[in-house]
Amino acid sequence: MMAFSSLTPIFNPSSSIICKCKASIDTRDHALDAAYIRRAALLADKSAGFTSPHPNFGCVIATPSGDVAGEGYLYAQGTTPAEVQAIDAAGERSRGATAYLNMEPGDCDGDNAAISALLQGGVKRVVIGMRHPLQHLRGNAVRALRSQGLHVDLLGEDLTSKLIEDAQKECLLVNAPLICRAASRVPFSVLKYAMTLDGKIAASSGHASWISSKQSRNLVFELRGRSDAVIVGGNTVRRDNPRLTARHGGGHMPMRIVMTQTLNLPEEANLWDMSEVSTIVVTQRGARRSFQKVLASKGVEVVEFDMLNPRDVMEYFHDRGYLSILWECGGTLAASAISSGVIHKVFAFVAPKIIGGKNAPSPVGDLGMVEMSQAINLIDVCYEQVGPDMLISGFLQPLPDMVPTIPSPEETFVVDPTVSPYESSIIFFYKTWDPYGALSNFSPHPIQVPDENGDYVTWMSVEHYYQAHKFVGVDDTSAQDCVEMIKSAKSPEEAARIGRSMQRKRPDLVRSDWDNIKIDVMYRALKCKFSMYPHLNAMLLSTAGSVLVEASPHDLFWGGGREGEGLNYLGRLLMKLRSEFLGESSSSSEAPSLTV
């Protein structure tokens, strides 16, 4: 395991919220390399809070004289790679230049866009902060670049020094969620709490508004924006009635998760307001069936577990594709999560207040420890004053070492527990960084489709086209505005968020025949995509003989579901399309009828 030291936190809305490494006073070799790698890591973090967590890539192109010629960063999954942006910005100045990447490119789109950009741009040397942690991508780009004659230096392998080590730590920190996901098959989990100087998170009466300062609470909003989801327990819902919104002004709103054994929750709560963001309740199987129906009527998703515990819940959300989760729970659930080994980092806001109270709650409940020698020591502790408060942060467990190779993760998801995911007859895909990520409707491949007048219109992705066509043809200016907003969305994720939100808030704007035509709309977009891009067509045809499963555990229409109960219409459409391309009958056994 790699331990980090000499870390100072930086919280700045225009900068990174990650724990930054202090620059070593070292003017020896690699000073320029280390500086540009740091810059690439900082760029990689720029989309935090504006898009849902994803692998973070940044790229800096530096000329032989040391000038920055171009920069770029990955905004969201399904958007233009950082390397392509940087090369485009550099233009002719990229020839003979050095490219600095915080992480090895990870390309599952089938077109190797990042590598092609570096080669076509005439880059002479590439410096990479860390190898890609996902096993199916690890080392691929390094080998490809070296095979084309580029000089590739990897921090910690080809370049070693104290200065280089400090720069590499920043690369690891900016992709800590991805590293933990690859190594432990649970999302990167941060426990956040605010307490008084005497260690209380509320008064004896339960009153807790507010322990920390407004400045600290603003940082909490930023932390939420960096997370796929925020999780609380039933006690927090009953006592505080929180909203758990990000309120950062950006686009990404984290999912809200309530973890409760008994489902003893109020019928009216802020978390049941689904107008801005959705809520998921996880509970024990069979708990309060009647109340589950009440929640479902409000649009709240309920997920049951045979044995509700933090480890199983986090493994489920790993399968759901989540990279990072923020825990804002009370002491009982916090203790359970720590004991289960799912908490990676702690952010503790300590306010200069004393409340006292024998029965006033503390941030962490009973861990079963009876001696101080059993206490858990934080690693890489950071301190920062935030207004009148002190923020103390640190890791409960070190990030996995990137050398040797992290054990291979299963980067597909179980749809049918009776079938081994390693069987070649089933191919799973879900996120764009999965081995067959290019099959996803979120992949970064623009399509051109004729409109009702026969004029070809360009859409940034299949998802853009699909979401917009919920509202196409509706005689209402709000619907027409929504189509334009979706069309101009910066990423497939944003297109989906706009379309789903509008469908939830204004169902009257959705075309009346949507349920009958949505499969045809998706199929038309997919056919266009796999017809326009030969390499994607070749990828699809290479799956011949295999069953394709969109492995979303929660989308029971387009995906396969948690236990194989989903309809898997996306996989079925792709198999139908594959049959057509192969000249087979679309009614073959591998492509069942698509009638709803």
576 closest CA partner among 564, 560, 594: 594
Residue 192 buriedness (CB in 10 A; 0-12 / 13-18 / 19+) = buried
Q: Which of 83, 165, 170, 222 is catalytic?
A: 83
Which residues lie below 8 Å from residue 228, measured CB to CB, with a gap of 6+?
52, 53, 187, 254, 255, 317, 321, 322, 323, 324, 325
Would you give the DSSP letter of residue 155?
Answer: B
**Backbone torsions φ then ψ of 532, nearest 5 degrees:** -80, -30
Which residues lie below 8 Å from residue 73, measured CB to CB, with a gap of 6+?
43, 44, 46, 47, 56, 57, 58, 59, 82, 85
Cis-peptide, bond into residue 210, ω within 30° of zero = yes
| Side-chain-facing half-sphere of 577: CA atoms under 13 Å | 28
Residue 595 buriedness (CB in 10 A; 0-12 / 13-18 / 19+) = exposed
Residue 77 pairs in a beta bridge with none
Pairing of strands 7-9, 19-21: antiparallel
- The answer to whether the beta carbons of residues 345 and 191 sit under 8 Å apart is yes
DSSP characters for 262-287? S----SS-GGG--SSS-EEEEEETTT
What angle is formed at CA 509 by the lines to CA 503 and CA 515, rounded to 5 degrees? 65
Pairing of strands 324-327, 229-233: parallel
What angle is formed at CA 336 by the lines to CA 333 and CA 338, rounded to 5 degrees? 110
181 closest CA partner among 149, 139, 134, 136: 134
Residue 568 in 3-state DSSP? coil
Report the distance separating Cα 307 and Cα 165, nearest Å: 43
Residue 258 buriedness (CB in 10 A; 0-12 / 13-18 / 19+) = buried
The answer to whether residue 315 is catalytic is no
Looking at 91-131, list the stretches that DSSP marks H as alpha helix, in order from N- to C-terminal side: 113-120
Report the distance separating Cα 194 and Cα 185, nearest Å: 28
Report the distance separating Cα 280 and Cα 177, nearest Å: 21
Which residues lie below 8 Å from residue 106, measured CB to CB, with a gap of 6+?
55, 57, 132, 134, 137, 141, 433
CA distances from 489 to 75, 440, 483 (A): 12, 18, 10
How many Cβ atoms from other residues are within 10 Å of residue 455's Cβ? 7
SS3 readout for 286-355: CCCHHHHHHHHHCCCEEEEECCCCHHHHHHHHHHCCCCEEEECCCHHHHHHHHHCCCCCEEEEEEECCCC
Taken in order 580, 585, 587, 588, is the CA torsion positive or negative? negative
Catalytic residues: 83
